Amino acid sequence: MSLNATPVEQLTSEVKEYRKADHSVNPVFLNRWSPRAYSSQKISDEDLYSVLEAAHWAPSSFNDQPWRFIVAKTEAQLKTFHEFLNPFNRAWAEKAPVLVLVASSKKRDNGDPNGAHTFDAGTSWGHLAIQATLLGLSTHAIGGFDKEKARSLLNVPDDFDLHAVITIGYRGEKETLDAKLQERENPGTRKPLKEVIFEGTVNP
C-alpha cells in the first residue's frame, strides 16, 4: 500500500461501500476498522512485535511513555484473558490468536501524577491499529471486561489503569459469528467532518 496517495482503488471493496472521506487521507485510515470475525491463522512474532513497536513510538507528554502492553499469545495465556472478558465479547474474541491488554501508569517517573497517561495510551492504541492494518491484520478494542479480575489475574499494580483488551489476528468469515453480529460486521461510518470541527470557538 502506497503511503503517498489516497486513490480509491487502494480501498477494500467493503470499505468502498461503507466509507467515504470528506477530504483526502491515506487509504489506511479508511481500511482500518474493527471486525469481530477472526480466522485460526497464527500471527508471526515478527508481525506481532512490529505492531507493538509502532504502538511504542506514539507521542506522549514529556516522553513519559506511560503505556504498558500485556500480551497473551499462548493457549494458557489466552485462557487467562478469556476469564475476564465479558461473555458477549468472549464469544467472538476467544477466536483471536493474540490479545493485548493496554494499561498505563498514572504516575510520572518522579512520582508526580500524570494527567496525560490515558490520552497517551489511547494514542499508542491508534498507532498499533494502523500498523496492524498495514500488515494485513485486524484489531478490535474491547472495553467490556472485568478490570479488577484482570488486575488480579495478571498481577497489575494499582498505580496502573487498565483501558482495553485488543484482539489481533487475521479476518475470518463473518458466518462464524452469531447472526446479530453478522449484521454488524461492516466498517463503521463517520459523522460529517463539519459536525466535529469548530473553528475558533464552539458554535452555540
Tell me, what's the pLDDT at 8?
73
Tell me, what's the pLDDT at 7?
63
Tell me, what's the pLDDT at 9?
77
Question: What are 159-201's pLDDT values in tens digits?
Answer: 999 999 999 999 999 999 999 999 999 999 999 999 999 999 9
SS3 label, residue 165: strand
Task: Quote the mean pLDDT of the chain.
Answer: 94
Q: Provide mean pLDDT across the span 74-93.
A: 98
Question: What are 35-74's pLDDT values in tens digits?
Answer: 999 999 999 999 999 999 999 999 999 999 999 999 999 9
Residue 192 neighbours by CB under 8 Å, 6+ apart: 22
Q: Nine-digit cell at 177?
A: 459469528
Distance CA 36, CA 168 (A): 10
User: HSE-up of 26 (CA within 13 Å, CB side)?
Assistant: 10
Residues 156, 20 contacting (CB under 8 angstroms): no
pLDDT band at 6; cut points 50, 70, 90:
low
User: For the chain, which domains are there?
Assistant: 1-31 (no CATH), 34-175 (3.40.109.10)
Question: What are 100-158's pLDDT values in tens digits?
Answer: 999 999 999 999 999 999 999 999 999 999 999 999 999 999 999 999 999 999 999 99
Whether the model pTM is above 0.85? yes
> How many other CB atoms are there within 10 angstroms of residue 160's CB atom?
19
Left if phi > 0, otherwise alpha if psi is -120 to 50, otherwise beta: which for 66? alpha
